[in-house]
A and B are shown apart, each in its own frame.
Chain A
Amino acid sequence: MSHKTYEESKKAVVKGLFLLGFVTLIEVFISLFGKGHIILGIKDIAWMAYPVGLIIAVLSIYKAYFIIYEFMHMAYEVKGLALTVLLPTSLLIWALIAFFQEGTAWKARREFVKEKNAKSVEPLKGKESFLDDNTLLRL
Chain B
Amino acid sequence: MLHQHSDNHGGSWEGAAAPFNISYGKLMMWYFLLSDAFTFAGFLIAYGALRFSSPSWPVPDFVFSTAPFGIHDAPLIFVTIMSFLLIISSVTMVRAVQEGHRENKKGVVFWMLLTIIGGAGFLSCQAWEWTNLIGKENMTVTTNPFGSHIDDGIYLDEKGNATGESFKAGASYLLHKSEEGGHDEGHAEGHHALAKGDHPNALVDNEGFIHKKFKVTSGPSAGQVQMEEFGPKAFGALFFFITGFHGFHVLSGVAFLLIIMINVASGVYASRKNGYEMVEKIGLYWHFVDLVWVFVFLVFYLF
Contacts and interface: CB of A to CB of B under 8 A. Distances in A.
Interface in A95-113: 95-96, 99-100, 102-104, 106-107, 110-111
A103 B75 contact: no
A25 B91 contact: no
A67 B76 CA distance: 22
A74 to B, nearest CB: 9
A3 to B, nearest CB: 12
Contacts of A31: 61, 76, 301-303
Contacts of A102: 49, 53
A95 B44 CA distance: 11
Interface in B25-49: 27, 30-31, 33-34, 37-38, 41-42, 45-46, 48-49
B91 A17 contact: yes
Contacts of A20: 87, 90-91
Contact of B61 (A17, A35, A85, A88): A35
Given A1-B101, A53-B303, A78-B1, A63 B294 contact: yes
A107 B53 contact: yes
B294 A104 contact: no
Contact of B46 (A9, A89, A99): A99
A89 B44 CA distance: 14
A89 B34 contact: yes
Contacts of A56: 298, 302-303
A71 B280 CA distance: 10
Nearest to B59: A35
Interface in B68-89: 75-76, 80, 83-84, 87-88
Contacts of B30: 81, 85
Q: How large is the interface on B (under 10, 10 to 19, 20 to 34, 35 or more residues)?
A: 35 or more
B199 interface: no
A16 to B, nearest CB: 6
Contact of A78 (B21, B55, B88, B303): B21
A89 B93 CA distance: 25
Contacts, number: 142
Contacts of B170: 43
Interface string A66-85: 01100110000111110011
Interface residues of A, number: 50
Contacts of A25: 80
Interface string A1-18: 110001001100100110
Contact of B98 (A13, A53, A84, A95): A13
Interface stretch (B119-127, B132-140, B240-248, B283-291): B283-291
B302 to A, nearest CB: 4
B206 interface: no
Interface of B: 1-2, 20-22, 27, 30-31, 33-34, 37-38, 41-42, 45-46, 48-55, 59, 61, 75-76, 80, 83-84, 87-88, 90-91, 93-95, 98, 101-102, 170, 275, 283-284, 287-288, 290-291, 294-295, 297-298, 301-303
Interface of A: 1-2, 6, 9-10, 13, 16-17, 20-21, 24-25, 27-28, 31-32, 35, 37, 43, 53, 56-57, 60, 63-64, 67-68, 71-72, 77-81, 84-85, 88-89, 92, 95-96, 99-100, 102-104, 106-107, 110-111
